[in-house]
Structures are given as C-alpha cells and as structure tokens.
C-alpha cells in the first residue's frame, strides 16, 4: 500500500496564531497526532505534533502561546508514492508527504492502527490494550528474547507492522533496522541502550506475567543534549569565574535593581570589604549603612551611561570606580559591571616611580663620572655624537696599517687622536714618534726625518745620525702640520710611502723601514694643490683614510667634560685642590673658544694657578681672565707697534676699566659716550670676555 492512499489531506492544518489550547482541542477533535502549519496564503511553513505540544508544556510554555513559537520549521517528509511498509518513522508521530515538488499531505501515526496488521491477542495481558497507544515504544518479550507483543510506537520505531515484528528476537531486529545496542555484561539478552544515527534510547525493562519482560524505549537524545549544554555552561561559568577572580582590578556586579550579585577577590583586597558583607544587598542600602559615600551603580541606572567617580569606602580607603551598563537585545539594562582601581595604590606606585626616576638620575651622574674618569685616563674626552663617531672610526683604523690624514683647526686634538690610534694598534709596543713639520727649519727637516751619514755636511756628527723614520721602525710616525712641509721634501716622503725605503742625507744605500704614517694639518690641502704648494700625488697617498675633527664650537656639549678634565689635571700637577662653583662652569661653557681645546686648557691652567679662592667663583674667573689679557697687552708695549695695534690697546684698556668699575655694558657705554652695541661689538673684536650681567 502506498502512502498517498492513506495520507491526511492538506486541508486538515493549523495556523501559526492558533493557541496551544486550540491545537490540543484540534488534535482531540480530529483524532490526529499532528498537522501542517500553513500561513495566510496557504503555504506550508512547518509542522506541529502532539509530541511538540507535550515538550512545549514541559518547558513551561503557556496554553495561550501561539503555535509559531513552538512549531518545527524543518519538516520530516516521505514521498507520496512510497510503500507504507518501507517508511522509517524514526520515532516521529507525524510525517509530511511530498510529491517531490511540494507538500501534498500528512501521514499521522494514528492512521497506522488501521494498517498495522493483525493486532496480537491481549487476553493474557489485559494491560497491553491500554498501552497500544502509549507514546513510547513498548515490547513484551519472552525469556529467550523473542517478541510476543508490541504497541504502535514500537512499530514506528523499527518501521515494521505487527506481523513482521512478532516472534522476532528483539536484539536481532534492532540490529537489522540499523540500531547499535549495548547489552548488560552478564546478560546479553538484556538491552541497556539503543542508538541509530543521532538518536539515542534508554532501554528500561521490568518483569511481567508468565516470566515475560516489558521493555520500554525512552528517547533520551534531547536530555543528553541538555546535559551536554549544561556541562558546557558549567565549564564556561567556572572559566568566567576564574577570569574574574584572577583580575588584578576589582570587579563588582549588580543587577538592574542595584542588588549585588558578584564580587571578585581583587575587590576584597582593594577595599577591605568582604563579599559576604554585600552580596544580595542593594547598593542604596549599603550607602545608607556607611559602606560607601556614594554609589556609581545607582548613577549608571539613573543615567544609562558609563560613569566614573572617586569613592570612599568604610575603612577610609579612596578608590576610583567605573560603572558600565550591560543591556539585553531589547536595550534594557540587565547588569552593571563596576571596575575598581585603588587610587592609594596608584599614588604609591607613582611615588615609587618618582624615586626610581631620581635613582636613575643619580646612577646616570655616577656613570657619567666614571665614564669621565675612564675617558680622562684615555686622554680623550668623548661627549658629542660627532666625536663618538670619530673615536669609533679611529678604533677601527687602529686594527689596520692604512695611512691616516687628520684634518681640523688648530687645537682640536689631532695629536691626541693620533696617539689613541697608535695605542690601540698592533704597533702599540713600538715607538710613536711625532714631529711638527712647521717647527723645524727646512734645511734641518730632511736630516731629522731621514738621518745622515758621517760627513754629510758641515757640523754633522762623525758617527752619523739615524732619522725619525729609522727610530720609528715597526712603530708609528706622526707628521704634524704636513701642509708646511717644503715641496722638495714632499717628493722624498712620497717615495717612502710608495717603496718603504729611505735614503740618509749623503748616503748611497737605501734602508728598508716599516713605519705607519699618520699626518695632520689645519690647512686646506686641496687649495694648496691648486696654488702648487702641495703635491697632488702625495695628497692622494696620504688621503687614504681622512678623519675630520670638528672644532670645539661644534661639540659644545663636551666643554663641561673638558673643564672637569683640565681642573683635575692641573690640581694634580700643582698639588692643589681647587673646586669650581656651577656658575663658573656654566660661564666658561657658554664662551666661544676660537683656539679650541688648547685655548680652553690654557685658560683652565691659569684659573687653577692664579685663583685666590679654594672654591673658584664666576667673579674670580672673570678677574683672572681679564687681568691675564690686560697683562699680555701691557707687556707687548715694549715691542714696535703699529698705529692700529696701539689704538686697539687703548680702546681695550678703556673698555676694561669701564667694565670693571660699572659692571654693565650699558653703563660703560654711557661713561665712554658710545652706544651699548658699540661696546659689545668692540669687546668681541678685542677678545674681551663679557659676563652675563653685562
């Protein structure tokens, strides 16, 4: 028999707005177990069965609820041309019938009563008649496991009629229709659970008459899903509680009425208020009881916005609290979550940070002092970024034997840097010989450099004399003021650089030498080449690795370090213990030093030697430097002077006397009858150092 021959017509349907009470009456009146749910245009939008009705009521639904809240959107359907015996109900009490394109009817489980085959005799089991319509599958089983009776729900479970079920072994029948079963360990005929696809049944058995057993199949899939969801929710709740409790900030949660629901451990630590004191209480009451001076929760509930206040709690602590509302899908506030931060703790941390900052400054000063001592011992002061780069480059050059050309103004420290390169080179144990090409007359310079043989010229030693190249063999020869070397001697130097040999004055045999050459000059060698005062081939031979040392005015930040260095140097040299006030240091650091480091060093030596005070003040520095300049100009009158020099000295003396008497350039200009700008301009030209007050 085909499904379409007994299916329920589409007209027997319910609407989405029918109440559950009306649907129950409909099922009873029509004697059906389910029906289609159709919309206002007659389209099938779901199905609702007596089983769905029971589940809805079990979940707490009201009889006045509309069907649309509980209907099933996914319809289990069978083909209208299917054979009735081939249908697998899978525990459904109602199936939709489709022609492949649309829903054409419904198949109610109650219809099977007419086509289920011969109903077994129930004379020996009167209760079985009542259980025929029982919603759960029931089997009456003999001791050997064969089925002697079952109800309609059992037929649907295994998709068989009565004739096909009776006298079958229950466990075998279940396996045939695709069930997986679990039996009792000591009684294989006793089935504990049965499972097919995603549906699981608990199998309950109890004894009946004539040593038979009644076996009930209860669908527990929904309960298992519920249990699994509960376990997941329990796990999530435990995880959330752990996260809340491990938060360093305090967390305080209330409901929409202001009643306290949750307090984490950090809140108890910060405020000193135990959770047991406030849980379940209203925030308004807690304010009245003196736990808090005011409540951010009540503010949030009043404004509906996030609020932040400074709150005082009963133990006198001051805390910063921020309350934020949580809303449901309809926008209503369901919770207020308050984050708590201990302001006292923040202030303590801020104080500790300030102490650490002060300690950092202290350590930086100590490190600066240690670095200064270390650099002083190394005969070079490194403070500016430019000098640090040059120093790093010189240390790299020390590892190789390349010729180095040091360029820079007079007094910048070219000789010191040359010594640093030598002292860090593999030649450090060998001689470092230095000579100024400008300090020796041209006639003697060649013999100084290359030496001479006995009788080379009038006045020569009988034994002859080795030159500086020979003395510096395997070491370093530093040629200072290389730009002053005579043009003829430059050719001989070039031959040494190219061939590594020298020829003594008057000699005829070349001498092999192994010398590293470093040269220095404050002159523009490229301009000298254009003027034919310096050989270009020698220049390019020397210009292998040039190092340009910046003047002191371009590394102003290093002046203080130089001052400390020279103060210590001359205190040690002269057995003194002079110290300087910060104002004196600042004054010297602010001056221009056209003579670079050499001028600065000379000034510091004068101050250390000539000071009348143990702690040198700014005024003492001004007195010493001005008097020294005045004495220098005074003694120079014994020499022939030009008219311009005499005028400059007179102007200098007049300005110096006016400044010593009146202290400011404005008053000095007034006394001398000129503008203040004239005094400043002439003082700068004449080398008069002006104080800050001038």
Residues 296-349 pLDDT 10s: 999 999 999 999 988 888 877 888 899 999 998 888 999 999 988 777 666 677
Q: How far apart are CA 687 and CA 247, in angstroms?
A: 70
Under a CB-based contact definition with an 8 Å cutoff, are residues 519 and 342 in contact?
no
Q: How far apart are CA 681 and CA 667, in angstroms?
A: 15
DSSP assignment of 403-459 equals: -EEEE--TTS-HHHHHHHHHHTSTTTTS-EEEEETTTS-HHHHHHHHHEE-TTSSTT
Q: Check pLDDT > 50 for residue 649.
A: yes
How do residues 512-537 score in pLDDT, each as one tens digit? 999 999 999 988 999 999 999 899 99
Residue 380: what pLDDT? Answer: 66
Q: Check pLDDT > 60 for residue 122.
A: no
Q: How far apart are CA 274 and CA 314, in angstroms?
A: 12
Q: How far apart are CA 177 and CA 664, in angstroms?
A: 118
What is the mean pLDDT of the segment spanning 243-271? 87
**What b/e readout covers 257-281, taking b as 16+ CB neighbours within 10 angstroms?**
ebbbebbbebbbebbebeeeebeee
Q: How far apart are CA 640 and CA 197, in angstroms?
A: 124
Q: What is the mean pLDDT of the chain?
A: 81
Residue 691: what pLDDT? Answer: 56
Q: How far apart are CA 562 and CA 604, in angstroms?
A: 9
How do residues 441-457 score in pLDDT, each as one tens digit? 777 888 889 998 887 77
94-98 β-sheet, strand order: 77-79, 94-98, 103-108
Q: How far apart are CA 608 and CA 620, in angstroms?
A: 11
Q: How many residues does the chain have?
A: 694
Q: How far apart are CA 298 and CA 683, in angstroms?
A: 76
Q: Band of the pLDDT at 692, cuts 50, 70, 90?
A: very low
Q: How far apart are CA 229 and CA 224, in angstroms?
A: 8
Q: Check pLDDT > 50 for residue 118.
A: no
Q: Check pLDDT > 90 for residue 407.
A: yes
Q: Is 145 left (phi over 0), alpha (psi -120 to 50) or beta?
A: left
Q: Band of the pLDDT at 99, cuts 50, 70, 90?
A: low
What is the mean pLDDT of the segment spanning 84-96? 61
Percent of the chain beyond pLDDT 70?
82
User: What global pTM score does this model have?
Assistant: 0.40
Place of tokens 């079920």: 165
How do residues 202-223 score in pLDDT, each as one tens digit? 888 888 777 788 888 888 776 7
How do residues 42-59 score in pLDDT, each as one tens digit? 677 888 888 788 888 877
Q: How far apart are CA 473 and CA 450, in angstroms?
A: 12
Q: Check pLDDT > 60 for residue 693.
A: no
DSSP assignment of 137-184 equals: -EEEE-TTSBEEEE-HHHHHHHT--HHHHTTSBHHHHHHHTT-EEEEE
Task: Please indicate whether residue 373 or residue 320 has the higher confidence score (pLDDT).
Answer: 320
Q: Band of the pLDDT at 412, cuts 50, 70, 90?
A: confident
Q: Is 451 left (phi over 0), alpha (psi -120 to 50) or beta?
A: left
The residues near 68 (Cβ < 8 Å, ≥ 6 apart) are 16, 17, 37
How do residues 568-618 score in pLDDT, each as one tens digit? 888 988 888 889 898 888 888 888 888 888 888 888 888 988 888 889 999
Residue 3: what pLDDT? Answer: 64
Q: Check pLDDT > 60 for residue 639.
A: no
What is the mean pLDDT of the segment spanning 109-119? 52
Q: Check pLDDT > 90 for residue 260.
A: yes
Q: ∠ CA 357-363-368 to the nearest 5 degrees?
A: 125
Q: How far apart are CA 534 and CA 528, in angstroms?
A: 5
Residue 585: what pLDDT? Answer: 87
Domains and CATH numbers, the chain: 3-113 (3.10.580.10), 116-225 (3.30.450.20), 385-550 (3.40.50.300), 640-694 (1.10.10)
Task: Please indicate whether residue 573 or residue 122 has the higher confidence score (pLDDT).
Answer: 573
Burial of 240 (0-12, 13-18, 19+ CB in 10 A): exposed
What is the mean pLDDT of the segment spanning 65-79? 77
SS3 582: helix
187-196 β-sheet, strand order: 147-150, 138-141, 213-219, 199-207, 187-196, 180-184
What is the mean pLDDT of the segment spanning 150-155? 84
Q: How far apart are CA 215 and CA 595, in angstroms?
A: 115
Q: Band of the pLDDT at 227, cuts 50, 70, 90?
A: confident
Q: How far apart are CA 373 and CA 360, in angstroms?
A: 20
Residue 355: what pLDDT? Answer: 87
Residue 162: what pLDDT? Answer: 83
First CA to last CA across the chain, in angstroms?
125
DSSP assignment of 447-504 equals: HHHHEE-TTSSTT--TT-EE-HHHHTTTSEEEEETGGGS-HHHHHHHHHHHHHSEE--
- Rounded to 5 degrees, φ, ψ at 24 are -60, -40
Residue 87: what pLDDT? Answer: 64
| Four-residue CA torsion sign, 619, 621, 623, 626 | negative
| Four-residue CA torsion sign, 63, 68, 74, 77 | positive
Nearest in space to 203 (alpha carbons), one of 186, 224, 220, 188: 220
Q: How far apart are CA 275 and CA 244, in angstroms?
A: 14
CA 10 to each of CA 80, 113, 499: distance values in angstroms, whole numbers, following the listed order: 13, 21, 117
């Amino acid at each position: 028999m085909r499904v379409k021959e007994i299916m329920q017509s589409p007209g027997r349907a319910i609407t989405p707005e029918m109440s559950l009470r009306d649907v129950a009456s409909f099922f009873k009146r029509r004697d059906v177990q389910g029906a289609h749910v159709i919309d206002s245009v007659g389209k099938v939008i779901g199905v609702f069965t007596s089983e769905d009705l029971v589940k809805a009521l079990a979940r707490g639904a009201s009889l006045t609820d509309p069907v649309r809240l509980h209907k099933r959107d996914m319809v289990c359907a069978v083909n209208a041309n299917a054979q009735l015996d081939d249908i697998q109900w899978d525990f459904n009490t109602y199936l939709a019938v489709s022609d492949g394109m649309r829903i054409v009817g419904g198949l109610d489980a109650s219809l099977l009563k007419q086509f289920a085959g011969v109903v077994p005799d129930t004379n020996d089991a009167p209760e079985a008649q009542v259980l025929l319509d029982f919603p759960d599958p029931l089997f009456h089983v003999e001791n050997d496991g064969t089925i002697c009776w079952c109800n309609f729900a059992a037929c649907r479970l295994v998709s068989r009629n009565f004739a096909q079920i009776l006298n079958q072994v229950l466990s075998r029948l279940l396996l045939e229709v695709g069930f997986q079963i679990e039996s009792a360990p000591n009684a294989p005929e006793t089935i504990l659970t049965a499972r097919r696809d995603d549906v699981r049944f608990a199998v309950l058995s109890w004894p009946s008459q004539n040593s038979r057993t009644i076996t009930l199949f209860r669908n527990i899939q929904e309960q298992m899903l519920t249990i699994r969801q509960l376990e997941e929710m329990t796990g999530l709740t435990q995880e959330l509680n752990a996260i809340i409790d491990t938060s360093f900030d305090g967390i305080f949660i209330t409901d929409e009425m202001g009643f306290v629901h949750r307090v984490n451990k950090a809140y108890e630590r910060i405020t000193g208020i135990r959770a047991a004191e406030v849980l379940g209480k209203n925030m308004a009451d807690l304010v009245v009881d003196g736990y808090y001076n005011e409540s951010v929760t009540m503010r949030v509930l009043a404004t509906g916005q996030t609020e932040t206040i400074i709150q005082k709690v009963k133990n006198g602590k001051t805390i910063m609290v921020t309350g934020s509302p949580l809303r449901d899908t309809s926008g209503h506030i369901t919770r207020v979550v308050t984050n708590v931060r201990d302001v006292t703790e923040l202030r303590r941390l801020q104080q500790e940070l300030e102490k650490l900052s002060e300690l950092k400054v202290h350590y930086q000063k100590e490190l600066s002092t240690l670095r200064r001592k270390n650099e002083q011992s190394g005969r070079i002061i490194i403070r500016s970024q430019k000098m640090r780069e040059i120093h790093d480059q010189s240390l790299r050059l020390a590892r190789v034997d390349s010729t180095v050309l040091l360029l820079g103004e007079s007094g910048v420290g070219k000789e010191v840097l040359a010594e640093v390169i030598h002292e860090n080179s593999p030649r450090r144990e060998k001689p470092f010989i230095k000579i100024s090409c400008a300090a020796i007359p041209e006639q003697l310079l060649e013999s100084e450099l290359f030496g001479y043989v006995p009788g080379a010229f009038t006045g020569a030693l009988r034994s002859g004399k080795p030159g500086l190249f020979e003395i510096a063999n395997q070491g370093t020869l530093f040629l200072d003021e290389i730009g002053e070397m005579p043009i003829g001697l430059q050719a001989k130097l070039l031959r040494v650089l190219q061939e590594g040999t020298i020829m003594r004055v008057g000699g005829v045999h070349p001498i092999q030498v192994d010398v590293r050459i470093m040269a220095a000059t404050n002159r523009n060698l490229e301009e000298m080449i254009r003027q034919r005062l310096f050989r270009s081939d020698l220049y390019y031979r020397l210009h292998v690795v040039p190092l340009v040392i910046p003047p002191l005015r371009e590394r102003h930040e290093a002046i203080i370090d130089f001052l400390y260095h020279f103060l210590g140097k001359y205190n040690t040299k002269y057995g003194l213990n002079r110290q300087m006030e910060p104002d004196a240091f600042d004054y010297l650091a602010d001056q221009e030093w056209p003579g670079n480091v050499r001028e600065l060093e000379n000034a510091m030596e004068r101050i250390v030697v000539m000071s009348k005070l143990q702690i040198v003040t700014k005024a003492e520095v001004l007195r010493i430097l001005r008097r020294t300049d005045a004495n220098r100009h005074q003694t120079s009158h014994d020499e022939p002077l030009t008219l311009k020099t005499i005028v400059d000295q007179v102007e200098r003396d007049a300005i110096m006397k006016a400044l010593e008497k009146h202290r400011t350039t404005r008053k000095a200009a007034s006394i001398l009858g000129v503008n203040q700008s004239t005094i400043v301009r002439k003082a700068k030209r004449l080398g008069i150092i002006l104080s800050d007050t001038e």
